[in-house]
Chains A and B, each alone.
Chain A
Amino acid sequence: MKKFFTSALFKGLVWQVIGFFIGAGLVTGIRALMGLSVTDTFFFTEPAWVLGAFFGALAFLVGCGVTDDWIKWARGIDTPDHHEEHWHGWEKYINVSLDHKVIGIQYTLISLALIAIGGTFAMIFRTELAASELQFLTTDLQLFGQNGPQLYNTLMSLHGMVMIISILLGVSGIINYAVPLLIGAADMSFPRLNAFSYWIAVPAAVTLISSLFLGGFDTGWTGYPPLSARAPVGMQMFFLGVFIAGWSSILGALNVVVTVLRMRAKGMTAMKMPIFVWAGLATSIIAMTATQFIGLAFQLVMFQRLFGMGFFDPAKGGNPILFQHLFWFYSHPAVYVFILPGLGVISELLPVFVRKPLYGYRWIAMSSIGIALVGFVVWAHHMFTSSMNEYLRVPFMYSTLLVSVPTGVKFFSWVATMWKGKISTPTPMLFVLGAIVVFLMGGLSGPPHATVSTDLHLHDTYFVVGHFHDTIFGGFVFPFFAAIYYWFPKATGRRMNEFWGKVHFWLMTPSFFVLTFGMMYVGLMGMRRRIADYDPALGIDTAHLILTIAGFAIFFSVLIFFINFFYSIKHGEKAEGNVWGSRSPEWQVPSPMSLHNYPTPIEVVGEPYDYGLKDAPYIRFAPAAKGKSKH
């Protein structure tokens, strides 16, 4: 326990509280001097909460110690390049480490924590939805300053955003852990920036979740004004939490781009990189540039609330549709940030379990970049019913449908990779296969939204909810599990339990099919999104009961995963070698990886996926260098 109280995590949290009170106190003090009210529904006034939360986040960062080296640099003091790690065992993960492997795991852990929180919120409102009429989230209920339906809206909205943040962090986790290993680097280009990008996510998550206790908010994760301009204080915590989390995304992505361009092993030309690196690169290009727009959109609403600036207020001449354009300019490319790494995991793992080259490597690599680029010009397909310019909808329909072409390339290549292979199906491969099928369903349920006229019916119904759960589970959740099962031995030197892994898969997957088909079905029957209660006359009560049961099955399967995960760290079957028989560089050295990854630098001498060819290694270890050594 003492180890926790001296950790960076604890110190950061303490400083976040201190910083909060300084910021809130400052605003409250000035208000008192000006003779204005100093308290409100949730004790502090809204401006006090906002400045307090902002100061709190900054204080966390300084207090946890992740900015220490930079502060030294500002004072002209140099710091050693190669850092030694001061903590061992589980303490590593609650303290500041500059090792990308530790940071990757830290990201993964916080992602899993947020998945648990977001999933729990979903189970609460999914239970309410099991039958029409309100059962327990009724108007009589009063919790955190909200009645039942208000609480429903908050839980539903937070489910969305908490899950989205968990995806962004999970994506950062896989990329951080794997990319330097895959390119033969000792670490990322900017290790301190890497640590910073992780640690900033902690106060961001705290701020986001605090919205639940500050009156919640009723806008969904999209936060459209004018509704968001008049929502309770919790709305501001939502905006600020996401804004801060955006920094994690941007800075992390920048690091990845530079690392891929600058830190590759000798001989690793662009077309000889492991395919996951291409996925990471494409993802990072998006995250590094588009994220600014959601930050700006949210910042504008925050300022509208705090300073009365009428950006989106029609009464003052503002334009609510502008918010939607700014918001979706990021939020559509964001979904490619969610799925490109997962699709990269599929491409990376398939050859290993099929023992065959990745079919059409170049095209798959280019398709990731293609999806990223085309993904920038489709955003308004979220706004077909918004009363945006009528004719502009047509080009967006074309561009949206166009994205399915590079995506299709991936699917066909995956099928061709499997064809005439020698296929085995341990747990990671099961999740890869599940990912392909589920993502296929997501991708196929997309075009009805892309064509404007059909979207006029489908928009804001549960059909969309089915569509995006398919794409998200197929593009992120399934591959995330696959990646964890796959690289777990690399990180710990032990395997996760294979039997329980299969239970996880076989419980989750059929339930998930039921869930998404069910969602699409009720949507087509007339069920709208984001409603706490639905019309019994729609005749979808039974369907909803089935959906809730399916949801619980998924929840329990993930619980099984969590138990397996944590248990196997210390008690899993030992697996210190090349467990999967992979050609990839990281599997050519024993597990767990040593501190700076490759004691002897690697050189690329062949193709990454030449399974089936004799004497065609991918890498070799550099012959003893004359004079210069790395450490």
Chain B
Amino acid sequence: MQHFVIVGILVIVTTVLTYLGLDVAGLAKQQHPIAASAQSASIDQLWHWEMIVISFLFALIVVPMVYSLIVFRQKKGEMQDGEHMEGNTTLEITWTVVPLFIVVIFAYLGGWSLGEVNRVDPQALVINVKGQQFTWTFEYPEYGIISNELHLPVNRQVVLKMTSTDVIHSFWVPEFRLKKDVVPGRVNDYRITPTLVGEYKVRCAELCGTSHAYMENPVIVESQAEYDAWIAEQSALVEEALKTPEGQGRLLTVSNGCTGCHSLDGTPLTGPTWLGIFGRQEQMSDGTTIVVDEAYITESILNPNAKIVAGFPSPSVMPAFSFTDEQLANIIAYLKTLK
């Protein structure tokens, strides 16, 4: 009897210590990273309850084990037997039924939480999302804006209509706590209500190929005023761009996700950087050297596997694009501006 009392006390103490330990690590009540969506509330809440139960169950098993190891130790050199206990049906039924009960409760809570997460606002803002190897493209249908950055107004539900052009990706913003796969041939809905202004990142969460690690785009949650200003600014840029070949070329590169693999600042990503690309000398994978001109760029877009720059994946990861001659000319005009 005495054993049970001691163990009981130790279990309670260990539960509290375990819980506190988790809390200090930011894994219990206050979680990392900071929660930034309305949907995260029930998720973080459920997680917290789960951590409490987990702390208890951990203690419940480990404490009696460690206690037994110390108190019921075999003396060195001896081979005595322990007490002949085969079982106790009441106890065994109890430790089957009680966990069953707890499990059903958590399943119910899980259902509740999922319901909270899935609440639909019929007035939600619609944004189209395209995932591709290796970038995200966001289209604001009402304004005709296409961007590689997702701007969202705070405290308003947004429904992202997502599809992929190649393989399965997954849309995840850790601070939002939700993720949803992005599947070719389907349009999947992702509903989110951002509640905290800030700069986050959407990180692809389904292995999608070589540069999966780098498929991260900025997500900016801002006040309604800032959001409106951004929309206005982007709309103006689009209008301006449509007037010149270079501008139209730039719009094409945004909507086709080129900058996911081709950086504008000199960093080699999945593909060669575009900074200073036109007229550059490149060493190819077959040892030859070429100069980047109109013909080379056209060929690389229409048939990426024809020539590959040394040090980049071969066969090429770049999909073949089919553009009209005018579109190609515009893109080339734009590339020429990237000095």
Contact = CB atoms under 8 A, between A and B. Distances in A.
Does a CB–CB distance below 8 Å link A and B in the complex? yes
Contacts of A226: 166-168, 184
B5 interface: no
B212 A451 contact: no
A524 B32 contact: yes
Interface residues of B, number: 89
- How many A residues are at the interface, by size bracket? 35 or more
B227 interface: no
A356 B43 contact: no
A314 B21 CA distance: 48
Interface stretch (B64-72, B141-149, B233-241, B324-332): B64-72
Given A320-B168, A456-B177, A401 B106 contact: yes
A213 interface: no
Given A409-B96, A453-B113, A526-B203, A314 B186 contact: yes
Contact of A611 (B81, B179, B213): B81
B111 A459 contact: no
Interface in B147-178: 166-168, 170, 172, 174, 177-178
Contacts of A460: 170, 172, 179, 205-206
Nearest to A409: B96
A130 to B, nearest CB: 15
B31 A524 contact: yes
B315 A422 contact: no
A421 B70 CA distance: 11
Contacts of B201: 535
Contact of A153 (B27, B118, B207): B207
A41 interface: yes
Interface stretch (B46-54, B246-254, B276-284): B46-54
B103 A401 contact: yes
A405 B96 contact: yes
B81 A356 contact: yes
Contacts of B268: 139
A402 B91 CA distance: 19
A147 B310 CA distance: 10
A415 B64 CA distance: 7
Interface of A: 41, 139-140, 142, 145-147, 149-150, 153, 218-220, 224, 226-227, 230, 232, 314-315, 318-321, 354-357, 359-363, 385-387, 390, 393-394, 397-398, 401-402, 404-405, 408-409, 411-416, 418-425, 433, 436-437, 440-441, 444-445, 447-448, 450-454, 456-457, 459-461, 520-521, 524-526, 528-535, 581, 607, 610-613
22 contacts: A218-B210, A219-B207, A224-B167, A320-B168, A320-B183, A355-B80, A356-B85, A359-B86, A394-B110, A413-B92, A416-B87, A419-B3, A420-B85, A423-B73, A424-B73, A433-B65, A452-B114, A456-B43, A528-B205, A535-B203, A611-B82, A612-B84
Interface of B: 3, 25-27, 31-33, 42-43, 46-47, 50, 54, 57-58, 61-62, 64-65, 68-69, 72-74, 78-88, 91-92, 95-96, 99-100, 103-104, 106-107, 109-111, 113-114, 116-118, 166-168, 170, 172, 174, 177-181, 183-186, 188, 201, 203-214, 216, 268, 311-315
